[in-house]
């Protein structure tokens, strides 16, 4: 079995840093072939990758079975095993996501700004690929394909570092993708993995400034914190979401209840799910009993302050809230609930505990809505709708790389455009500066 992966990682296994820098350098070289490729070329490649992946289903599943076996032997939790597991249906779904990418517009070449200057210089700012995108993620083989597809569509090479738990699956997937690229006349080095060099390889990737243009960590808070601390390559931080919903005194009660339940329970393990409910004291009597009953019926455990707990039905699952609850992104059927004195107290609570992801208000008071929008500092501020709408697909941005909670480069849902940069192109006729 001589594959593009093995061909491209020959004798340097002993020094992870040298090896990973060589990988990044080859990625950089390969990225040049793609930077000026037409959309037609890229879309054809994406479809070919999808076909190749489906055709290799048996090989991929065999490798995945090894990962699962190792995971079970290491006592991996059923939840993680499920995220790691591939089936023919899941492979087909992953391939379909590549075909959907092919159907999206190409961000590259878009003219962002342009003008003719008073001196006659013609100026335009054009969207171009970053070059090499690094992706560090955990035990989900679908992210391998997803990341490769997003990078290719936006004209970039990608260097992947998946979790060791999915190492066998990822190795085969990267081989299949790289071989399919070569079959399309594109460099196989456009999709490479540094998993072979373990944790030192990941660190080398974080330090490959100048060769890797941006690093996107996808995973838990620990992974993201490590990358932010270690990396000299610019990082786009994706999202911890400690999201709040504030129910104002003037809120429409039916709207508030529907938005509360949807925000908390429509899907619990995601970053735009609700984690804390704040209720105006004047709305507490009318709203809390029915809200707490409905949350209980939906299986939600309420971590409430004193006032909240006084409104809870006798049979409700409740625990007293502490500061830990205000700070926690549960990602489970748990909700912190607090009664506040009003809009100022709600904004103050959000400022103290928000992770800057999504903050929502339910109100019929225009001034309250406008103050909340102006004074709350978050990637998304939502009036009278569910927190679950903060999402690239919901916002109509097409494929989503993640949801950025940092302020540089990208904030909120990131689409393909966020994997590009710009270039100023200036045309003159012998212009010199006076």
Closer CB to its own copies, 90 or 124, in the complex: 124
Is residue 242 a contact partner of residue 354, using CB atoms and an 8 Å limit? yes
The token pair at 250 is 């003037």
Using alpha carbons only, what angle is made at residue 236 by residues 232 and 387, rounded to the nearest 5 degrees?
Answer: 155
How far is residue 372's CA from residue 216's CA, in Å, rounded to a whole number?
31
Least distance in Å: CB of 113 to its own copies? Answer: 10
Q: What are phi and psi of 406, to 5 degrees?
A: -100, 170
Residue whose C-alpha is closest to residue 294's, from 261, 249, 266, 253: 261
Closer CB to its own copies, 46 or 361, in the complex: 361
Closer CB to its own copies, 5 or 235, in the complex: 235
Closer CB to its own copies, 299 or 320, in the complex: 299
Closer CB to its own copies, 3 or 422, in the complex: 422
Least distance in Å: CB of 302 to its own copies? Answer: 20
Is residue 355 a contact partner of residue 329, using CB atoms and an 8 Å limit? yes
Least distance in Å: CB of 425 to its own copies? Answer: 5
Closer CB to its own copies, 66 or 422, in the complex: 422
Burial label, 199 (beta-carbon count in 10 A; 0-12, 13-18, 19+): exposed
How far is residue 207's CA from residue 130's CA, in Å, rounded to a whole number?
17
Burial label, 129 (beta-carbon count in 10 A; 0-12, 13-18, 19+): buried
Closer CB to its own copies, 13 or 117, in the complex: 117
Least distance in Å: CB of 283 to its own copies? Answer: 16
Least distance in Å: CB of 8 to its own copies? Answer: 21
How far is residue 202's CA from residue 16's CA, in Å, rounded to a whole number?
9
Least distance in Å: CB of 257 to its own copies? Answer: 10
Residue numbers at the binding site for its own copies (CB under 8 A): 32, 35-36, 115, 117, 121, 123, 125, 128, 130-131, 209, 213-214, 228-229, 232, 234-236, 252, 254-255, 258-259, 261-262, 266, 369, 373-375, 377-386, 388-390, 394-396, 406-409, 411-413, 421-433
Least distance in Å: CB of 40 to its own copies? Answer: 16
Least distance in Å: CB of 104 to its own copies? Answer: 17
* Kind of pairing between the strands at 301-304 and 318-320: parallel
Distances in Å between the Cα of 74 and the Cα atoms of 64, 81, 169, 197 are: 15, 11, 17, 21
How far is residue 50's CA from residue 95's CA, in Å, rounded to a whole number?
4
Least distance in Å: CB of 53 to its own copies? Answer: 30
Adjacency order of strands within the sheet including 301-304: 318-320, 301-304, 334-340, 274-280, 243-247, 358-362
Closer CB to its own copies, 35 or 80, in the complex: 35
Is residue 205 a contact partner of residue 20, using CB atoms and an 8 Å limit? yes
Closer CB to its own copies, 145 or 259, in the complex: 259
């Amino acid at each position: 079995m001589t594959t593009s992966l093995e061909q491209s990682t020959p004798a340097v296994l002993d020094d992870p840093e040298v090896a990973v820098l060589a990988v990044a350098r080859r990625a950089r070289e390969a990225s040049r072939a793609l930077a000026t490729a037409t959309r037609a070329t890229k879309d054809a490649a994406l479809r070919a990758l999808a076909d190749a992946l489906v055709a290799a289903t048996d090989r991929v599943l065999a490798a995945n079975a090894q990962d699962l076996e190792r995971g079970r032997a290491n006592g991996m939790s059923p939840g993680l095993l499920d995220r790691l597991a591939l089936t023919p249906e899941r492979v087909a779904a992953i391939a379909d996501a590549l075909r959907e990418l092919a159907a999206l517009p190409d961000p590259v070449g878009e003219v962002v700004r342009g003008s003719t200057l008073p001196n006659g210089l013609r100026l335009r700012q054009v969207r171009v690929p970053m070059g090499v995108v690094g992706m560090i993620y955990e035990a989900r083989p679908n992210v391998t394909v997803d990341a490769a597809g997003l990078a290719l569509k936006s004209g970039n090479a990608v260097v992947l570092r998946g979790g060791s738990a999915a190492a066998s699956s990822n190795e085969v997937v990267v081989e299949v993708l790289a071989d399919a690229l070569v079959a399309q006349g594109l460099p196989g080095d456009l999709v490479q993995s540094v998993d072979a060099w373990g944790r030192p390889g990941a660190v080398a990737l974080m330090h490959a400034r100048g060769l890797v243009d941006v690093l996107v960590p996808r995973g838990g808070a620990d992974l993201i914190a490590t990358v932010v601390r270690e990396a000299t390559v610019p990082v786009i931080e994706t999202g911890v979401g400690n999201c709040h919903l504030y129910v104002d005194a003037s809120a429409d009660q039916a709207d508030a209840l529907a938005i509360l339940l949807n925000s908390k329970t429509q899907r619990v393990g995601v970053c735009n799910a609700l984690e804390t409910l704040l209720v105006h004291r004047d709305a507490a009597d009318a709203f809390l009993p029915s809200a707490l009953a409905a949350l209980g019926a939906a299986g939600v455990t309420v971590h409430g302050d004193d006032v909240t707990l006084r409104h809870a039905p006798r049979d409700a699952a409740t625990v007293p809230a502490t500061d830990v609850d205000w700070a926690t992104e549960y990602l489970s059927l748990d909700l912190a609930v607090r009664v506040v004195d009003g809009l100022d107290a709600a904004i103050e609570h959000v400022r103290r505990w928000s992770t800057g992801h999504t903050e929502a208000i339910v109100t019929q008071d225009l001034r309250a809505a406008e103050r909340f929008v102006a004074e709350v500092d978050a990637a998304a501020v939502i009036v009278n709708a569910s927190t679950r709408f903060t999402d690239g697909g919901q916002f109509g941005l097409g494929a989503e790389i993640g949801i950025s909670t940092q302020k540089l480069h990208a904030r909120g849902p990131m689409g393909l455009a966020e994997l590009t940069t710009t270039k100023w192109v200036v045309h003159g006729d012998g212009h010199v500066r006076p």
